[in-house]
Amino acid sequence: MKQGKFITLEGIDGAGKSTQLAWIVELLQDAGKPVVVTREPGGTTLGEQLRALLLNKTMIMHAETEALLMFAARREHLDKVILPALTQGQWVISDRFTDASFAYQSGGRGLDSGKLAILEHWVQGDLQPDLTLYFDVPVEVGQQRVYQSKSKDRFEKEQADFFQRVRAAYQDRAKQFPERIRIIDSSRSLADVNAAVEQTLQPLLSHE
Ligand SMILES: Nc1ncnc2c1ncn2[C@@H]1O[C@H](COP(=O)(O)OP(=O)(O)O)[C@@H](O)[C@H]1O
Ligand SMILES: Cc1cn([C@H]2C[C@H](O)[C@@H](COP(=O)(O)OP(=O)(O)O)O2)c(=O)[nH]c1=O
């Protein structure tokens, strides 16, 4: 029986997820919540090895292989990390989850979202995050932030039109699940985004 809360962070590369993750952990710890931080693809020994393959910019793979590996890593992640932590009453914060597959593999690569929905149901059953923070930025802003910060991986080396499709797919998904997915305008200053995150988390914290 799930007791903890499951929060996921989404957005195109460079949206500011990792930066906000640290702030969210601080807010939850200040509120006395036991927090587990994790990420996708990854989060387990096997998942991190799959991540290395998926992000390796010299690796060539079919788009469906890519999707299947994302969901294989997710199955392991749920089994080894997410479900045990939730059952123990911990708050799980994941830097990306299934919305990323709909955004990148369906929006970005063009896979049929119906196939992904089958994998989603297979791997997660009815489990969905309690809250998803979608950090929305224009593609140019995200790309500028990524290029300033580090060398590009297999996804980050994609062109702007790929990220336009990813962003559009995220926005569609946020419209489809407005209760769960909250849109945060991440093009603003760090202080403004921090404040928006705090405000969005408040109802979840005060219902506890
Ligand atoms: N609101 C913001 N304003 C300006 N720069 C930001 C903001 N949020 C994050 N950054 C910077 O942008 C870069 C990418 O941020 P990061 O959190 O790593 O993004 P993501 O995890 O979504 O790819 C980092 O150098 C970070 O310091
Ligand atoms: C979870 C997930 C990630 N991805 C992609 C999005 C990102 O480009 C990449 C993971 O990188 P990311 O989480 O952004 O890590 P970093 O901040 O270290 O670059 O994997 C998918 O394409 N589908 C998925 O289902």
pLDDT of residue 24: 98
pLDDT at 16: 96
pLDDT at res. 205: 87
Those residues with Cβ within 8 angstroms of residue 163's Cβ, 6 or more apart along the chain or in another chain: 12, 13, 108, 139, 142, 143
Q: How far is CA 133 from CA 100, 181, 192, 194, 196, in A?
A: 12, 6, 15, 12, 10
Total domains in the chain come to: 1
Whose tokens are 């896979």? That residue is 111
| H or E segment and range at residue 53 | helix 45-55
pLDDT at residue 2 in the model: 59
Rounded to whole angstroms, how far apart are CA atoms 3 and 25? 18
Residue nearest to atom 17 of ligand 1 (CA): 16
Note the pLDDT of residue 152: 84
User: For residue 13, what pLDDT is reported?
Assistant: 94
**Model confidence, pTM:** 0.97
Residue ranges making up the domain that contains 203: 6-207
Q: Which ligand is nearest to the CA of 73?
A: 2
The ipTM, to two decimals, is 0.97
pLDDT of residue 147: 77
Cβ(101) – ligand 2 distance below 6 Å: yes
- State residue 126's pLDDT score: 96
pLDDT lower than 50: segments of the chain: none
Distance from C-alpha of 193 to C-alpha of 185, rounded to nearest angstrom: 7
Exposure string (b/e) for 113-138, b if CB count within 10 Å is 16 or more?
Answer: beebeebbeebbeeebbbbbbbbbbe
Is 64 among the domain residues?
yes
Q: Tell me what pLDDT residue 208 has.
A: 58
Return the residue whose CA atom lies nearest to atom 15 of ligand 2: 13
Q: How far is the CA of 96 from the centre of ligand 2 (A)?
A: 7
Assess if residue 143 is contained within a domain: yes
Is 1 part of a structural domain of the chain? no
The verdict on the CB of residue 78 being under 6 Å from ligand 2 is no
User: What is the domain-level CATH number for residue 169?
Assistant: 3.40.50.300
Look at the chain and count its residues. 208
Q: pLDDT tens, 128-177?
A: 999 999 999 999 999 998 877 667 899 988 999 999 999 999 999 999 99
